[in-house]
Structure 1
Amino acid sequence: MKKTLFLWAFLSLLITNAQDSIQIKGKVANAIAELRDFVAIHNDALNADDIDSNLMWLRDKFGNRGFNTSILETEGLPLFFAALPIDDRKPTILFYMHLDGQSVDHTKWDQPDPYVIELKSENENGWKTHSFNELDSDIDYSWRLFGRSTSDDKGPIVMFLNAIDILKNNETEIPFNVKVILDSEEERSSAPLPKAVRTYKDLLKADYLLINDGPVHVSGKPTIVYGCRGITTLTLTTYGPIKPQHSGHYGNYAPNPGFELARVLTSMKDVDGRVLINGYYDGITLNESTIEILKSVPDDAHTINTNLEIAIPEKVGSFYQESLQYPSLNIRGLGSAWIGDKARTIVPATATAELDIRLVPESDGARLKKLVKEHIKEQGYFVIDTVPTKEERMAYDRIITVTEGSVTDAFRTDLDNPFGKYLVRTMENKFGEKPVQIRIMGGTVPISPFINELKIPAFLVPMVNPDNNQHSPNENLKIGQLAYGIELFYTILSTPYN
């Protein structure tokens, strides 16, 4: 009898999963059409008119699915908010995604218009473009949709909407209250977000935050991320003569700002890439259980190094995931005078370095910037935050201007969080393998305002392919990932949390 009951339960599960898969495959065609429509609306975060058009599209699409929607005004561009009717007996999930995208340079794309999605397949000769009519007979999950924001981050929004369709078609009771907040300035560091979250704190109140942004692990396996690094920036400028001078007349006499800047920068790191600034890594400890989790991520050092075409990585950590547990110090740009075929035989007037610092929860952005400035002073420089006056230039032989950018904090949810364990269990039951669990990812998502104000655990559940070219020309979304995202949203929103 027990065997019969077990077999019946097993067969019922197989039938249910098969029915779900059929429905999801049926929604993929609709999702492709909806994504084409959505991407066609320009969404450059630098253009307020673009954002307004996207907000109207979202209000219509979410409203048609039964959501109550609001446009939330901020000190910058508005946020989009949507919620299904609230049942106080249920826990609440707040989903975060963003509707804005990076600017485009049309000349760098392999298609006339990055806002008109093109359907392509890969072969030995590169990428072949197909007509969308070819999807009428069959949908090949290996084919890709090329266009700005297909992956970052309009694709996941469309996945979510189509998962809601299946839930409604099945008359499935969602065991959660569902709220959605869509950022319109994520690609501009979401400067208005902290104040906006404080302002709309009651509206955004939730028990858990799920962020659906970024790619799955490079292995392509289902992925859950427990945190992300924060970011802040510094701009350093050193000075030579007040104007560029002929290097024949003044070389060996006028101080060269390029060498001055190089001396400052090389004093900050050793040859293995470790930051030498006193106190920079303070407060960071990794116990054996944490190291074990980090090593469970299926990274391959040889593959990473081959893809980067580097012989030896830096040694801040002993392997890739460990390196992400520490704050970074990165030169993101360098400039002085002219280079290439525009180079001139001059002593430059200035040299500038743009730095970014990726933060971890143990590191405070303001503190690290202070440490950097103190270190520069110790190298004998007069540090100011403005262009030096003539009097300052005549009084100090080593001057550097340091200007600071804003701080986006890091966050990290405990690996033992009960809702995190629910997500792992749900994904494992659905996809037949334990998801890749990443303690903290290297990039930055502006989530800290939600955590600081709402006091809730947050998890990144990425949907898109790891080779999607986000922020770059030829951004794309694999159709199989579109199906995966619909299935994952559907599974989470139909699985009780207990």
Structure 2
Amino acid sequence: MVGLAGGGVFGPAPVAAQPTSDEIRAWVEPVVPVAFDRFREYLRLPNDARDVEAMGPLIDWIESAFAERGFDTRRLETERLPLLLAERRVDAPAATVLVYLQADGQPVDPSAWRQTNPYDPVLRARDADGRERDLAWSALEGERDPDWRVFARSASDSKGPNIQFLTALDLLDGQGVALDYDLKVVVDFEEEMGSPQLPPAVEQHSDALAADMLVIFDGPPHYSGRPSLKFGARGIATLTLTTYGPRVPQHSGHYGNYAPNPGQRLARLLASMKDDDGRVTIDGFYDGVELDDATRAVLEAVPDDEAEVRRALGIAASDQVGGSLQEAVQYPSLNVRGLSSGWIGDQARTIVPADATAEIDVRLVRETDGDRLLGLIRDHVESRGYRVVSGRDPTEAERAEHARLARLDGSVSYAAFRTDFDSPPGRWLEAGMRRLFGAAPVKIRTSGGSIPISPFVTTLGVPAVSVPTVNPDNNQHSPNENIRVGSFVEGIAIMVAVLSQPLRPIAQVP
């Protein structure tokens, strides 16, 4: 049932069975080898969304997986890759739950991996001396070490959660557990590209996607590994900033001290955007973000060990944007994610480069508008004496007229979202996790990373909460991405617990 806006009491219907923690773990254990077999098959399917044709087998696989489990499936076509919508209804539903899954992954550089093919998963153990060794997959059929790991692209982000979810559905169906809500699943195949097709697709298919709440199975929990719920995520905008020197690279002996060096100019320009403590100095960048005492209490309740965080990161001190890690991610960020000018290493040359480029990401919070922040950055560049162009390189006339030239191209992928702890999905998911673990999960107000959920929240008008189920040290987006065997198995149990939690006792669904 959809459209319970304003709050209401659910009508009469049988309450779904609630397996105990011991029952859930007893159900999960026998299916672990089969789940890993399915996982290996799925991991072998390339999922770089930049290659539209190569994504076909992956889309077919996941659509078939849902169809085999009794879901009605349809592809929501876009200008590029589709979204997949799978739906399974029940009699007299208490509500409609929409689940978001991501199936694409970051590009791979095989030369940087400790295996020949990042899409061919490898099971590894780490010995006491820290050395890794490959294991036969049959090792999972016997006594297994929860610290063994599966290495492959998207092992954690996010094919692992996909298989955890499918396995949880199989267990609930096999045990005859009746859900008391309609279940919709939307699978995104362009998340790592910023889900550019998602906002118009949600707008176009809002009736098909309509739900009372959104649950996201994605990402790692609190870095301590404690069970967690995440009630928000930052949005993201990206921009490319290029400065210009001579029309083509020039001999540094002939023209050094004469032709302006774009690398040095870019370095000064970037340095002008932040102070030595890491705070953005662009006027108005943090406007609207205020943390009151109640919010700070919520942030302080997260069990961070910041000395351990710094040790794990290999840093002696953190930036001082906020008073803590949790406080820092409540603010928008400006991050230089890549730099390029001239050549380095064996290819280094004695030249004045022709240009220098910085790739920048801006993480957004609910109080900040991405287009406004991009505008502030442009204003700042212009305030430093630059003529700024967009969508093209400077013309010859502009080169002749302006001493400082920059190109700035930026776009907002999606906004941030944040849901109240006491929202219906928050109470529902917490109840399921309490049943499994016997204690409340760590509740995180806003995670630092970004997921493309705001189009659902704003267009469909639904609250959203994320359930993370993979290990924090998974190397997502990087070479040697992995998922810990124990985390994979625990994630199945978490999904069984939350999906089997009755929704009917939740009195209000906005």
- TM-score bracket for this pair, using the shorter chain length: over 0.9
Structure 1 SS opposite 2:100 = strand
After TM superposition, the structure 1 stretch with the greater mean CA deviation from structure 2, 138-147 or 456-465, is 138-147
Per-residue CA deviation, residues 436-493 of structure 1 (Å, 9 max, x unaligned), is: 1111111111111111111000011111111111122222222222221211111112
Give distance in 2, aligned partners of 1:341 and 1:132. 41
In the other structure, the counterpart of 2:98 is 94
In the other structure, the counterpart of 1:379 is 384
Give distance in 1, aligned partners of 2:438 and 2:356. 55
TM-score, length basis structure 2: 0.91
In the other structure, the counterpart of 1:309 is 314
Q: Does the C-alpha gap of structure 1 residues 173 and 35 become closer, same or farther in structure 2, counting only changes over 3 Å? A: same
Per-residue CA deviation, residues 24-43 of structure 1 (Å, 9 max, x unaligned), is: 11122221111111112222
Give distance in 2, aligned partners of 1:112 and 1:467. 22
Which residue of the other structure, out of 167, 180, 183, is the alignment partner of 2:188?
A: 183
Contact 2:428 2:498 in 1 (8 A): no
1:55 aligned to 2:59?
Answer: yes
In the other structure, the counterpart of 2:429 is 423
Structure 2 SS opposite 1:481 = helix
1:41 aligned to 2:45?
Answer: yes
Structure 2 SS opposite 1:329 = strand
1:109 aligned to 2:139?
Answer: no
Structure 2 SS opposite 1:124 = coil
| 1:342 Cα deviation from its structure 2 partner | 2.2
Contact 1:45 1:188 in 2 (8 A): yes
Which residue of the other structure, out of 489, 498, 501, is the alignment partner of 1:492?
A: 498
Give distance in 2, aligned partners of 1:289 and 1:150. 37
Structure 2 SS opposite 1:407 = strand
Contact 2:160 2:483 in 1 (8 A): yes
In the other structure, the counterpart of 2:415 is 409
1:281 aligned to 2:321?
Answer: no
Per-residue CA deviation, residues 122-144 of structure 1 (Å, 9 max, x unaligned), is: 21242222112223333433322
1:128 aligned to 2:117?
Answer: no
Structure 1 SS opposite 2:45 = coil
Give distance in 2, aligned partners of 1:392 and 1:49. 41
Give distance in 2, aligned partners of 1:219 and 1:262. 37
Which residue of the other structure, out of 23, 27, 37, is the alignment partner of 1:23?
A: 27
After TM superposition, the structure 1 stretch with the greater mean CA deviation from structure 2, 478-487 or 109-118, is 109-118
Contact 2:418 2:446 in 1 (8 A): yes
Structure 2 matches for 1:423-462, cutoff 5 A? 423-462=429-468
| 1:47 Cα deviation from its structure 2 partner | 1.9
Task: Name stretches of at least 5 consecutive residues in structure 2 with no aligned partner.
Answer: 1-16, 506-510
Give distance in 1, aligned partners of 2:244 and 2:23. 69
Structure 2 SS opposite 1:234 = strand
1:230 aligned to 2:235?
Answer: yes
Give distance in 1, aligned partners of 2:318 and 2:22. 45
Give distance in 2, aligned partners of 1:16 and 1:157. 23
Per-residue CA deviation, residues 70-121 of structure 1 (Å, 9 max, x unaligned), is: 1221111011111112445321111101111222222222223222222222
In the other structure, the counterpart of 1:335 is 340
Structure 1 letter corresponding to 2:212: D
Which residue of the other structure, out of 479, 484, 499, is the alignment partner of 1:473?
A: 479
Q: Does the C-alpha gap of structure 1 residues 315 and 27 become closer, same or farther in structure 2, counting only changes over 3 Å? A: same
Q: Percent identity?
A: 47
Task: Name stretches of at least 5 consecutive residues in structure 1 with no aligned partner.
Answer: 1-12
Contact 1:176 1:493 in 2 (8 A): no
TM-score, length basis structure 1: 0.94
C-alpha RMSD of the superposition: 1.8
1:163 aligned to 2:168?
Answer: yes
After TM superposition, the structure 1 stretch with the greater mean CA deviation from structure 2, 251-260 or 296-305, is 251-260
Structure 2 letter corresponding to 1:432: G
In the other structure, the counterpart of 2:85 is 81
Q: Does the C-alpha gap of structure 1 residues 396 and 121 become closer, same or farther in structure 2, counting only changes over 3 Å? A: same
Give distance in 1, aligned partners of 2:59 and 2:401. 55
Structure 2 letter corresponding to 1:489: M
In the other structure, the counterpart of 2:350 is 345
In the other structure, the counterpart of 2:398 is 392
Structure 2 SS opposite 1:488 = helix
Per-residue CA deviation, residues 367-406 of structure 1 (Å, 9 max, x unaligned), is: 0011111112222222222311121111111221111134
Give distance in 2, aligned partners of 1:71 and 1:32. 27
Structure 2 letter corresponding to 1:401: R
Contact 1:175 1:493 in 2 (8 A): no
Give distance in 1, aligned partners of 2:117 and 2:356. 37
Structure 1 SS opposite 2:138 = helix
Structure 2 letter corresponding to 1:274: R
| 1:167 Cα deviation from its structure 2 partner | 1.3
Give distance in 1, aligned partners of 2:266 and 2:183. 52
| 1:16 Cα deviation from its structure 2 partner | 4.2
Structure 1 SS opposite 2:414 = coil
| 1:234 Cα deviation from its structure 2 partner | 1.7
Give distance in 2, aligned partners of 1:359 and 1:252. 40
Contact 2:92 2:180 in 1 (8 A): no
Give distance in 2, aligned partners of 1:435 and 1:442. 18
Structure 2 SS opposite 1:280 = coil
Contact 2:90 2:180 in 1 (8 A): no
In the other structure, the counterpart of 2:7 is none
Per-residue CA deviation, residues 33-57 of structure 1 (Å, 9 max, x unaligned), is: 1111111222221222332211221
1:209 aligned to 2:209?
Answer: no
1:196 aligned to 2:212?
Answer: no
Structure 2 letter corresponding to 1:258: G
Give distance in 2, aligned partners of 1:114 and 1:312. 34
In the other structure, the counterpart of 2:12 is none
| 1:245 Cα deviation from its structure 2 partner | 2.1
| 1:159 Cα deviation from its structure 2 partner | 1.1
